[in-house]
Amino acid sequence: QSPARLYRPGSDAVTLRDVAGLDEVKAELQEVVDFLREPQRYAELGARIPRGILLSGPPGTGKTLLARAVAGEAGVPFFSASGSDFVELYAGTGAARVRALFARARQSAPCILFIDEIDALARQRGVSPGGGAEEREQTVNQLLVEMDGFESAEGVILIAATNRPDILDPAILRPGRFDRQLTVEPPDRKGREQILEVHARSRPLSPDVQLADVARLTPGFTGADLANLLNEAALLAVREGLREIGWRQIALALERVASGGPPRRIRYA
Ligand code: ATP
């Protein structure tokens, strides 16, 4: 059985327009979108698209969102699994799950296969806590076998994410495997403003709210934190019976976030 969740392309698909900033990463991923849309153009010129793309960066910076946007933009199915779905299982089950995951993805090609927390699955030998080293090795080996055994021409593009690229088994980074590695940085002030703009699209703001000011007040916030902040402010506005989010709600939400230590993370699908 494969642990992946499947999202079919639909009208509610996330696109690259929903990902603010990160222009270089988006430009690289646009190439994957183009390939999925018109594979024959690449085949004619003998241009090979990377089989695997690794996105590295701190939590909440938009790695999952980027992978979903590639699938949404290309109109292909999106399979999502987590590296932790493949560990601490009975002997042999991790490897069997990897096999099942790839088999399922191949049947749905062209598609995006996304593995979050790839470090849980493909950790460098010796860094793993506890036992089960042999089992873990089998699981990583199966991942390598699967990656070596498929051509991107088959239309399965593997995207993986990690916040710990330093602990990855170097074998998965060899050419022909994750041969494109992209770093997803936390946003700077301009990036924060752009992220706020994306999340304000569906939220009416009163004219006293300038997103540039919010961006200035939120150094260190990730995209996930900013989405959370606007949501908290929106909840406050509802509670107060307002029709728009005002500066007061933003300020209160900021205070709440600041006093509660690091902002609480809410996942937005
Ligand atoms: P993790 O490492 O915890 O899995 P992640 O990097 O995959 O985190 P996402 O799950 O993609 O982060 O981001 C969480 C949410 O934060 C997104 O669904 C989105 O609402 C918001 N977000 C993050 N980055 C951006 C961005 N660049 N533009 C717009 N929204 C963003």
Span 132-173, pLDDT tens digits: 677 788 888 999 998 887 765 578 899 999 999 999 999 999
Angle between helix 189-200 and 223-239 (nearest 10)? 40
Span 12-66, pLDDT tens digits: 789 999 999 999 999 999 999 999 998 888 888 888 888 899 999 999 999 999 9
Long-range contacts of the stretch 5-11 (C-beta < 8 A, 24+) = 5/79, 5/80, 5/81, 6/77, 6/78, 6/79, 6/80, 6/104, 6/108, 7/68, 7/71, 7/77, 7/78, 7/79, 7/80, 8/77, 9/71, 9/72, 9/75, 9/76, 9/77, 9/78
Nearest residue by C-alpha to atom 4 in ligand 1: 59
Quote the pLDDT of residue 131. Answer: 56
16 lines ligand 1 (CB under 6 A): no
Distance (angstroms) between ligand 1 centre and the Cα of 195 equals 10
Quote the pLDDT of residue 148. Answer: 85
pLDDT at 128 over 70: no
Q: What secondary structure does DSSP assign to 124-178, as a single string?
A: PTT---SS-HHHHHHHHHHHHHHHHT--GGGTEEEEEEES-GGGB-GGGGSTTSS
Span 86-97, pLDDT tens digits: 887 677 788 899
65 lines ligand 1 (CB under 6 A): yes
Closest residue by Cα to residue 36 from 153, 114, 115? 153
Residues 6+ apart with CB under 8 A from 190: 21, 215
The ipTM is: 0.96
Confidence of residue 263 (pLDDT cuts 50, 70, 90): very low
Residue with tokens 């809410």: 266
Give 200: exposed, middle or buried? Use CB within 10 Å, 0-12, 13-18, 19+: middle
pLDDT at 75 over 70: yes
Residue 61 is assigned to a ligand binding site: yes
pLDDT at 122 over 50: yes
Confidence of residue 267 (pLDDT cuts 50, 70, 90): very low
Confidence of residue 266 (pLDDT cuts 50, 70, 90): very low
What is the separation, in whole angstroms, between the first and last Cα of the chain? Answer: 24
Distance (angstroms) between ligand 1 centre and the Cα of 194 equals 13
Q: What is the chain's mean pLDDT, rounded? A: 87
